[in-house]
Amino acid sequence: METITMKQAAQFVGQEVHINAWVTNKRSSGKIAFLQLRDGTSYFQGIVVKADVSEEVFELAKSLGQESSIILTGVVQEDTRSALGYELLVKDIQIVGESHDYPITPKEHGTDFLMDHRHLWLRSSKQHAILTIRNEIIRATYQFMSENDFVKIDPPILTGSAPEGTTELFHTKYFDDDAFLSQSGQLYMEAAAMAFGKVFSFGPTFRAEKSKTRRHLIEFWMMEPEMAFVEHEESLEVQEKYVAYLVQSVIDNCQLALKTLDRDVEQLRKYTITPYPRISYTDAIELLNKNGFDDITWGDDFGSPHETFIASQYEQPIFIVNYPKAIKPFYMKVNPEDPRTVLCADMIAPEGYGEIIGGSEREIDYDVLAENIKNFGLDSETYAWYLDLRKYGSVPHSGFGIGLERAVAWISGIEHIRETSAFPRLLNRIYP
């Protein structure tokens, strides 16, 4: 007899099979027990009819604690009432691991309690749905990049440079020297783009930000493409195509997860339409000032209420382009049409999710860049290799970084970024 997963049920209707599972809930009367089951691939109901099984099996079914692990034997049946459409008419149950007094019960629990039990909370259907969407976004990213001829290059995690400013670095000893955990692979990816043309990285990044918001993690995953011979506007076109592709992939391949999360799919469909609107930083400031935001003037960075308001004027994700040079990193190319600003864009997600992508065209003028490095208080020697790229066959190039967890939070429609990571690292939390 075959052992199948719940996801494979459709191919086994009417057949007797084994299924390995955990019990999420159960109810029973004198004559019948209903087991709510999961096996990691999906959810399933097991029906145990007293008249059809031995007395021991029926007693066992009635006594199973929440999260007991079992091997079921039974016949797969269609079940039009369940989300999956199938159930198991149980013939036999073998217990694998008992479970008593499971801490997470179907009643409501507080966030701290759930975070302390993250190692168990992962099993719940909402968390399973979010991480399923995360997995799909990762899969679709590799597919998109491969279809568009990008080569994956892995930049180092232990680094000596600080692409995004020196205030948010994690220090560590590197034998007798100091090193930082990577806050972005970008500078290395620029070197790689000069070797391969179109490259991307996808890996963990670290920001020692003392931010305790629904958008910030201390450790997060970033996907960073870098493209040689590509100017700013062309990079924006890649970004919108890529994000629309992610949303479409989740709509196509994560129906059950979206349903579990109550995500409005019609809303998501709007985000598959490109191009996305563009608004300049300068126009965005004007828009804010006209609408009662007098706490911000030209030169300031946006706070999340500002981003949320600007995005709320549109139906799709938007690009805010050409920020002031002074509030962006040293490597961004100055805007020839307005040298107070740089050729950059942040993509702002709708529905209050804020910035999901930061990107720019890169400065390639050796002297301007050397001057920026000095002015930003960075050590020229550390960046000598980076300046070298401007000496030997330098070409216009652009790139961007998308925060995986922010994209997952937005596409899943969930409240807080902490649920997008299996074991999130947050300010004041490194357990479990």
CA–CA separation, 209 vs 401, rounded Å? 18
Least Cα distance to 159 among 200, 203, 199, 225 occurs for 203
Query: Which CB sits closer to ligand 4AD, 96 or 158?
Result: 158
Whether 33 contacts 61, CB under 8 Å: yes
| Complex with ligand 4AD: residue 36 or 186, whichever CB lies closer | 186
For ligand 4AD, the closer of residues 182 and 260 by Cβ is 182
Kindly state whether residue 92 participates in binding ligand 4AD, applying the rule CB under 6 A.
no
Binding track, positions 346-375, relative to Mg ion; x by CB under 5 A: ------------x-----------------
Q: Which of 4, 403, 410, 418 binds ligand 4AD (CB under 6 A)?
A: 403
The residue of the chain with the least Cβ separation from Mg ion equals 358
357 binds ligand 4AD (CB under 6 A): yes
Reference 67, options 129, 32, 18, 21; nearest CA is: 21
Stretch that binds ligand 4AD, among 228-236, 240-248, 354-362, 383-391 (CB under 6 A): 354-362
Min. distance of Cβ 362 from Mg ion in angstroms?
15
- Give the Cβ contact number of residue 4 at 10 Å: 18
Least CB distance to ligand 4AD at residue 331 (A): 8
d(CA 8, CA 424): 31
Task: Give the whole-angstrom CA distance, residue 150 versus residue 220.
Answer: 22
Cβ nearer to Mg ion, comparing 22 with 302? 302
User: Which residue number, 6 or 345, has a Cβ lying nearer to Mg ion?
Assistant: 345
Residue with tokens 């965005």: 284
Compute the distance between CA of residue 390 and CA of residue 407 in angstroms, rounded to an integer: 33
217 binds, among ligand 4AD, Mg ion, none (CB under 5 to 8 A by kind): ligand 4AD
Give CA angle at 367 (362, 372), nearest 5°.
Answer: 65
Nearer to ligand 4AD, 46 or 403 (CB): 403
Please report whether residue 424 would count as binding ligand 4AD according to CB under 6 A. Answer: no
Site for ligand 4AD in 219-248 (CB under 6 A): 220, 222, 224
**CB 88 within 8 Å of CB 72:** yes
β-bridge pairing 219-228 and 151-152: unpaired
Nearest partner of 18 among 91, 121, 96, 106, judged by Cα: 91
**6-14, 27-35, 139-147, 218-226 -> range binding ligand 4AD (CB under 6 A):** 218-226
Q: Within 248-277, which residues bind ligand 4AD (CB under 6 A)? A: none
306 near ligand 4AD, rule: CB under 6 A? no
Residue 184 in contact with ligand 4AD, rule: CB under 6 A = yes
User: Using CA atoms, how far apart are residues 335 and 324, in angstroms rounded to an integer?
Assistant: 10
Q: Which of Mg ion, ligand 4AD, none does 23 bind, CB closer than 5 to 8 A by kind?
A: none
| CB-nearer residue toward ligand 4AD: 86 or 200 | 200
Residues numbered 361-400 forming contacts with ligand 4AD, rule: CB under 6 A: 399-400
Q: Which residues of 159-191 are buried (b: 16+ CB within 10 A; e: fewer)?
A: bebbbbeeebbeeeeeeeeebbbbbbbbbbbbb
317 in contact with ligand 4AD (CB under 6 A): no
At its nearest, how many Å lie between Mg ion and the CB of residue 53?
A: 59
From 46, 324, 401, 424, residue interacting with ligand 4AD (rule: CB under 6 A): 401
Q: Select the residue interacting with ligand 4AD from 118, 198, 263, 406 (CB under 6 A).
A: 406
**Site for ligand 4AD, residues 140 to 179, rule: CB under 6 A:** 163-164
The residue among 136 and 190 lying less far from ligand 4AD, judged by its C-beta, is: 190
Q: Which does 207 bind (CB under 5 to 8 A by kind): ligand 4AD, Mg ion, none?
A: ligand 4AD
Which residues bind to ligand 4AD, rule: CB under 6 A?
163-164, 184, 186, 207, 209, 216-217, 220, 222, 224, 355-359, 399-403, 405-406
Which residues bind to Mg ion, rule: CB under 5 A?
358
